[in-house]
Chain A
Amino acid sequence: MNAETKRCFAALLHKQRREQSAFLNRSARTGKQRTQTGKLAFGALYGAIALVLMASFASLSWPLAQLLLPAGWETLYFLVLELLALLVSVLAGALSSYNRLFQAKDNDLLLALPIPPWMIFAVRLSGLYEMSLFYLLLVWVPAEAAYARFAPHPLGGILSAVPMALLLAGAASVLAALLGWAVALLVAKAGRHKALFTVAASLGFLALYFLGYQKSGALLNALLSSALWGGGEGLPQGGWLLLGRAACGDIPVLLGLLISLAAVCAALGKLLSGPYLRLMTTRTGGAASKMKAAPSRRVSVRRALLRRELLHLAGSPTYLLNCAMGSLGLVVLSVLALYKAGEIRLLAVQLLPPGLAGAAAAFAAALGAGTNCLTAPSVSLEGESLWRIRSLPVSPWQTLRAKLELHLAVTLPPALLCAGVLLAVVRAALPMVLLGLLAVALFVVLSAAVGLVLGVLMPSFHWTSETAVIKQSPFCLLAMLLSWGAALALFAGTAALSHRMPPAVSLSLACLLLAGADALALRWLKTKGAARFETT
């Protein structure tokens, strides 16, 4: 690598770092550097979210370590957690690798500079690697902590923890890049139907992932049974155990895996160096076609603004896949609930006090609805075209209201369907059905409003890819966590009160609380939020 190449590489890496840390270092509202306190607050928020996620993975690794490590199955313990970490990391990276690697907004800018395409790919891959490493550590850190606590001789495993994490993150980013490449190849063929195709491909991937997850759950149970009570019969042998042995501190195996990964990375770079430029410059619209386009009939300002939001959602696979898949999940849950009605009813009778099944059904649907996160990124998604809405005779509240209505239009029907099905499955009484549906509707309004409040408070308009706003900003995750927290807290409150009053009364109180919170959030948005949006 000559001096010019090195300089170019360093400059690109520097740009990548600045882009990735922009949300932390620069205030999107003022465009200025954050103060030290602001940076610390943002860092603390991220840290808190990471800790919550780590705690959830610790709830899996801790009992696993308790079972397997004292019995001497260290290799199996690491193998299971390595595969889990890889799955989490690949899933997180795969959905954004196409946009990050192939269709970033600064493609033309970079290609106009004297930078070889392989270098752009390598630097972008390093960004994907960092993201993969972050998600991987969410699983890996609690896994290593449990190992240190329960392993009889943990030194080797602890010493190899860092190189193993780096290695696994490398493997995850390579897999994610390959998936992104496959999507890019297919999108190049799909032409004008890119958005539809990307969504279909991603859903197919998710379906495969879900099937894999189900199968792996059964497999894990079989492995544990075999390890603990079956004398180890049927456990993975040979190559599979290499991964586990490397994590236990087997230096030659670890080195071997590192070298293999480096070779795979080099091969991938070689493989992609040719088609990368072509895939980067693929324009999805194809040749300019002469098509007649007639204006549609006049609609109200309110409907026009909602249509604008709907068109944005439909035209952006990233937005659709990351923020609206809760709706699909609710429909799937409704179908599953009908299919497994008997089992659900039995479970409700066994686990819940009489009369509380209706509230549980309603809050289960609310939890599902809380995974939709349309409003939180919607303000930032205005991006550089913010001038357009600002120069039109539309009040800030009208614009914000359209974003709320988008969330309601996409989330409310499947949420009510799911709640209705679940309430019917548990055979809730009519007053509980009505109250349950009301609670779900009020909850959907609240989750939309909370997301929008966060979006207005933390906008970021200067992004190069929508992924930066949707996946790398804290407010989407925060909005979802707040929604889920509210649903769980309300259910806990309803359950606690049901010992002292009929469940219908406690659910009515939950509805009142939700209505109050809705009113407060909407009032803030209409007044202070609108003023803030206007001057951001």
Chain B
Amino acid sequence: MLQIQQLTKRYGEKTAVDALTLTIRPGEIFGFIGPNGAGKTTTLKCCCGILQPDSGEVRVDGISVREDPLAAKRKLAYLPDNPDLYHYMTGIQYLDFIADIFGVSDAARAERVRGYGERFGLTGALAQPIGDYSHGMKQKLAIIAALLHAPKLILMDEPFVGLDPLAAHQLKQTMRAFCDTGGAIFFSTHVLEVAEKLCDQVAIIKNGKLIRAGSMAEVRGDASLETVFLELEGGADER
């Protein structure tokens, strides 16, 4: 579903992502972990066409993001770590806007807005301006918007930040259900316990370079993901 080949992105002298290669298959929840500034957000932004990589290739369902960005974007949804949404719209106006851009039919949007709205407890707030939302409400709205057009791939940057325990639980269930129907999720997180329980595959990145990737069982072996992560990051001794 998502193929990242030799992806490199530089900001001036600094190489944020260095020849990264990953493959995320349909049905997989792929966790992407690493310390702050490791290159996770840059990778995700390159995958959804917000940033242009310096070299390498990203394909979504076989479509090159570089060659046909619009076709690739139609297959995916992106959820940033800090969703700055349009403060001048109400929740429902925002969802309508996203649905219109993706050409979601009237019946499908009504059903999905109702379904996801109730699942994330946001139905009662959809008539309010987004400017009045809390961080968690914006996050929930961004999640609903991401699911609205039934994408094949969802890219999420720290999706659990700001969510209350119930919403976090609902999100995990939704992610699992989404991948069980053939979708794929590539998400970054600092919450290693969540990654350990939720992910089928995991990749660890440091200074823009991939230092380990594979199935959860392969990566962690007999240890916990936290232990492996700290060892790889060189922080085990300090613990």
Which residues on A are within 8 Å of B, measured CB to CB?
Answer: 192, 283-285, 288-301, 303-305, 307-308, 311-312, 314-316, 383-385, 387-388, 390-395, 535
6 pairs of residues in contact across A and B, judged by CB atoms under 8 Å: A288-B132, A291-B124, A298-B103, A301-B101, A383-B84, A385-B84
Q: Is the CB of A295 within 8 A of B106?
A: yes
Contacts of A390 in B (CB 8 A): 49-50
Main secondary structure of the interface of A (DSSP, over half): loop
Contacts of A388 in B (CB 8 A): 84-86
Contacts of B89 in A (CB 8 A): 308, 311, 315
Determine which of A294, A311, A312 lies in contact with B110 in the assembled complex, contact meaning CB atoms within 8 Å: A294
Q: Is the CB of B132 within 8 A of A283?
A: yes
Instruction: Output the least CB separation between B127 and chain A (Å).
Output: 4
Instruction: Output the least CB separation between B45 and chain A (Å).
Output: 8
Contacts of B95 in A (CB 8 A): 295
Contacts of B100 in A (CB 8 A): 298-301, 303-304, 307
Q: Is the CB of B124 within 8 A of A315?
A: no
Chain-A contact segment, one of B69-77, B168-176, B198-206, B217-225: B69-77
Contacts of B50 in A (CB 8 A): 387, 390-391
Q: Is the CB of A535 within 8 A of B73?
A: no
B 113-128 to A, binary, CB cutoff 8 A, 1 in contact else 0: 1000000000111111
User: For chain B residues 1-59, which have a beta carbon within 8 Å of chain A?
Assistant: 45, 48-50, 52
Nearest residue, chain A, Cβ from B132: A285
Instruction: Output the least CB separation between A45 and chain B (Å).
Output: 27
Contact A308 to B97, CB < 8 A, known contacts A316-B88, A385-B86: yes
Q: Is the CB of A394 within 8 A of B92?
A: no
Q: Is the CB of A387 within 8 A of B99?
A: no
Seed contacts A284-B131, A383-B84, A388-B86; 11 additional CB < 8 Å A-B pairs = A289-B128, A293-B90, A295-B99, A296-B92, A296-B96, A297-B106, A301-B101, A390-B49, A391-B49, A391-B50, A392-B102
Q: Is the CB of A295 within 8 A of B113?
A: yes
Contact A301 to B49, CB < 8 A, known contacts A295-B92, A387-B80: no
In the complex the two chains form, what is the Cα distance from A301 to B223 in whole Å? Answer: 50
Determine which of B86, B103, B132 lies in contact with A308 in the assembled complex, contact meaning CB atoms within 8 Å: B86
Which residues on B are within 8 Å of A, measured CB to CB?
Answer: 45, 48-50, 52, 69-71, 73-74, 77-78, 80, 84-93, 95-106, 109-110, 113, 123-129, 131-132
Contacts of B101 in A (CB 8 A): 301, 304-305, 392-394
In the complex the two chains form, what is the Cα distance from A536 to B73 in whole Å? Answer: 19
Instruction: Output the least CB separation between B111 and chain A (Å).
Output: 10
Contacts of A315 in B (CB 8 A): 87-89, 129
In the complex the two chains form, what is the Cα distance from A293 to B125 in whole Å? Answer: 8
In the complex the two chains form, what is the Cα distance from A296 to B90 in whole Å? Answer: 12
Q: Which of A314, A384, A385 has the most CB of B within 10 A?
A: A385
Q: List the 7 closest pairs (A to B, CB-CB), nearest first.
A: A315-B88, A285-B132, A304-B100, A291-B127, A293-B92, A293-B126, A293-B127
Contacts of A299 in B (CB 8 A): 100
Nearest residue, chain A, Cβ from B75: A393
Contacts of B92 in A (CB 8 A): 293-296
Contacts of A316 in B (CB 8 A): 88
Instruction: Output the least CB separation between A447 and chain B (Å).
Output: 24
Q: Is the CB of A288 within 8 A of B88?
A: no
Q: Is the CB of B104 within 8 A of A298?
A: yes
Q: Is the CB of A311 within 8 A of B88?
A: yes
Contacts of B125 in A (CB 8 A): 288
In the complex the two chains form, what is the Cα distance from A387 to B124 in whole Å? Answer: 27
Instruction: Output the least CB separation between A323 and chain B (Å).
Output: 14
Nearest residue, chain A, Cβ from B125: A288
Instruction: Output the least CB separation between B37 and chain A (Å).
Output: 16
In the complex the two chains form, what is the Cα distance from A298 to B90 in whole Å? Answer: 17
Contacts of B109 in A (CB 8 A): 295, 298
Nearest residue, chain A, Cβ from B104: A298
Contacts of A294 in B (CB 8 A): 92, 110
Nearest residue, chain A, Cβ from B45: A387
Contacts of B77 in A (CB 8 A): 391
Q: Is the CB of A298 within 8 A of B105?
A: yes
Q: Is the CB of B84 within 8 A of A288?
A: no
Nearest residue, chain A, Cβ from B93: A311
In the complex the two chains form, what is the Cα distance from A392 to B99 in whole Å? Answer: 11
Q: Which of B86, B87, B88 has the most CB of A within 10 A?
A: B88
Instruction: Output the least CB separation between A523 and chain B (Å).
Output: 21
Contacts of B99 in A (CB 8 A): 295, 298
Instruction: Output the least CB separation between A100 and chain B (Å).
Output: 18
